[in-house]
Amino acid sequence: MIRNRLLRTTLLSLFLSLLLAACGDAERTPSEAAQEAVAEVEETAEAASEATEENPFFSVSTLPNQMPPFGRIEDEHFVPAMERGMAEQLDEVETIASNPEPPTFENTIVAMERSGRLLDRVTAVFFNLVGADTNDARQEIQREMSPRLSAHSDAIRLNPELFARIEALHQQRDALELNPRQMRLLEQYRRDFVRAGATLDEDQKKRLREINGQLARLGTEFSQNVLKEVNDSAIVVESAAELEGLSEGQIQSAADEAAERGHEGKYVLTLMNYSSQPQLTALANRDVRQRLMEASLARGSRANEFDNREIVSRVLRLRAEKAVMLGYETHADFVLEERTAKTVDAVDEMLGQLAPVSVANARKEGEALQAMIDETEQAQFELRSWDWPFYAEKVRQREYDFDESEIKPYFELESVLVNGVFHAAEQVYGITFEERPDLPVYHPDVRVWEVFDTDGERLAIFLGDFYARASKRGGAWMNAYVSQSGLLGTAPVVANHQNIPKPPEGEPTLMTLDEVTTMFHEFGHALHGMFSSVEYPSFSGTSVPRDFVEYPSQVNELWATWPSILENYARHHETGERIPQELLDRVLEAEKFNEGYRTTEYLAASILDMCYHTLPAGEIPASDDILAFEAACLEQAGIAYDPVPTRYRTTYFSHIMGGYSAGYYSYIWSEVLDADSVKWFKENGGLSRANGNHFRETLLSKGGSKEAMQLFRDFAGREPDIQALLERRGLAPVEGTGEATGPM
């Protein structure tokens, strides 16, 4: 028996097409043609049935915490599992919506929370793999299925009968005797459906479906263009002499990359998805530096197959149209309603406080770099964006008497991870780790650990995927393959990803301080997922507002330079000796060095994001005007400073094409909370189990089950203040800029 409705429909269509084709053959009678068509359909059905039985997504994984069985998953499993998952969820939704019984919290809201389990399983794996280890087949599936999944979501959220039940419950909510978490969930469902268009008329719903489908297609196209061009736009260097300043390992990696791309005897420098590139810190050859930076800045804005300008313009127009349709002035107003910031004015006020201070500090730093150029270079030239990282490193060496090459031998990946990141979690929270090489992974570089709670019971499964590769998107992130839920009886399976360059075979992985800090940061997200202790899946783990989600992870960065943690992991990879105290002191003193640059490049991107998403629908720039608009936005905000490029230019700014549209400010917004929380830890004794337990119980375990800012107040016992952030970043007010102080 064929159970899948979609498969039944497909086989019926196949039968009809085969029958028509067969009947067109004069050599065969209609009866013979029909028999042959039936035989072919039966063969197809048998093959489909076998594939169904073999599809690992069709049953719950028996691995620890329902970890995906990566060893059994093939690309051909994704589409059938998504199709069956959508069909099953629509059946479940129809059962809920057509229930003849009056709506209750259990038969409507809880039933919705239980729905879509198969679809959740397959999409969690698929979209995580698209980011971590994509290929041509997965990109094609993404192009095909993203609009279909968007339409599936619309089919649920625009279901009038289902919304009527939710609305009825919301109208009588005060009489339902719900506890605070149930009340919050009911209100969230009602709000989500309204924001998805449930109250629109049928013509508006039709147009909304069209918009959502187009946005899904365009977002996929944008992200795939970015990844393809990062891999395609590497620069070719003729000789090793032009790579002066890079380490032997880096030069060898460049030679290996060149050979792999068919440039035997030459060298290839690959790009990462930021404007500035890590090689610029060491490259002595100014012409090569310029080529590298210009290649980076041009991505997505040239008239080639990766040109993203038209995509950006179309996405902005569609978002603006959708916002107006839903009753908001702009896309930013629509987004921020669900964030802790709440309003455009609140975000603009914070960015307006920080931008003048940061760019003034960056200009002072630039003056110091120009002075070094004038002092040391025979051929005088003006400081440009490709010069900044190189001369900043020279100034840092002079002022703090160390460079990255001195400290990297003390930051070996295995030690940082086990003796640093894991050790800190053991000290603060009492959890322990056991590596599980027997569990299947999706790539040979991926590693797996079983995480145990203080009582010795399994808490979570943790995957670490730390190395860069062509099949992986840029940046660093955390994701959940399985989220914790008391209702569903599920426990966490979470993963961290970075893009650390993989050294040649047999050499150690030596990390920069930034990469070390990122590893601690991403593990903070992992802890947020691991410690989740909620009933409903909608509240699980990191299901908090976008401008709050970075906060717990940034708090975890505290332990990267905490003396007892640093001493435990910062050991020379060859001798095992601890990092010398005087070198450590210089490293810590230098933490605020170049902070004007780092803050300005970040704020420029945040301001650019808000510029785009506060535009009315009629003022969206055309594709040819995108870069001119970008320049004008930064100039008007007073943050345009040529030697400091925006961290991401519009055409490769993946955050704002994804979940961070009108939300890239979230990192600095969260850092206000983080800096104040770090201050709390220090005021209350720092690294201690008591402090860790307090943070876990009041905040990390709660997910989205409580209003976000109330979680902060529950933990810190006060409102947040921006001053702690300014002190951390060393952003002293510069004469004429005013002073940024006071609460958020």
How far is 150 from 147, CA to CA, in rounded Å?
5
The answer to whether the Cα torsion of 567, 572, 573, 574 is positive or negative is negative
Report how far Cα 138 is from the mean position of its chain's Cα atoms. Answer: 18
Per the structure block, which two tokens stand in for 160?
A: 């009038």
Residues 536 and 111 sit within 8 Å (Cβ to Cβ): no
Residues 18 and 37 sit within 8 Å (Cβ to Cβ): yes
DSSP per-residue codes, 29-40: -HHHHHHHHHHH
Q: Is 522 a catalytic residue?
A: yes
CB atoms closer than 10 angstroms to residue 743:
11
How far is 142 from 117, CA to CA, in rounded Å?
20
Rounded alpha-carbon distances, angstroms, from residue 31 to 14, 24, 40, 176, 262: 17, 12, 14, 64, 58
Task: Label residue 630 exposed, middle or buried (CB < 10 Å: 0-12, 13-18, 19+).
Answer: buried
Residues 541 and 478 sit within 8 Å (Cβ to Cβ): no
Rg value, the chain, Cα = 27
Q: Cα-flanking dihedrals φ and ψ of residue 642, to 5°?
A: -50, -40
Range 508-520 burial, b when 16+ CB lie within 10 A, else e = bbbbbbebbbbbb
Max CA-CA distance within the chain?
94
Residue with tokens 């093959």: 47
Q: Cα-flanking dihedrals φ and ψ of residue 671, to 5°?
A: -70, -25
How far is 465 from 476, CA to CA, in rounded Å?
10
How far is 78 from 83, CA to CA, in rounded Å?
9
H helix intervals, 158-285: 160-171, 180-195, 202-232, 248-260
- Beta-carbon contacts of 111 under 8 Å, excluding residues fewer than 6 positions away, are 92, 95, 96
Kindly name the residue from 229, 412, 450, 522 that is annotated as catalytic: 522
Residues 471 and 135 sit within 8 Å (Cβ to Cβ): yes
Residues 224 and 471 sit within 8 Å (Cβ to Cβ): no
Closest CA to 567 of 555, 581, 588, 554: 581
One-letter amino acid of 552 = P
One-letter amino acid of 200 = L
H helix intervals, 261-308: 286-297
H helix intervals, 304-343: 309-325, 331-336
SS3 597: helix
Closest CA to 659 of 563, 535, 543, 521: 543
Residues 711 and 699 sit within 8 Å (Cβ to Cβ): yes
- Beta-carbon contacts of 177 under 8 Å, excluding residues fewer than 6 positions away, are none
Residues 529 and 478 sit within 8 Å (Cβ to Cβ): yes
Q: Starting at the earlier edge strand, list the strands of the sheet with 458-467.
A: 432-435, 447-452, 458-467, 493-500, 477-482
β-strand 267-269 against 493-500: which pairing, if any?
unpaired
Rounded alpha-carbon distances, angstroms, from residue 711 to 84, 340, 535, 720: 39, 11, 17, 12
One-letter amino acid of 61 = S
- Give the residue numbers marked as catalytic: 522
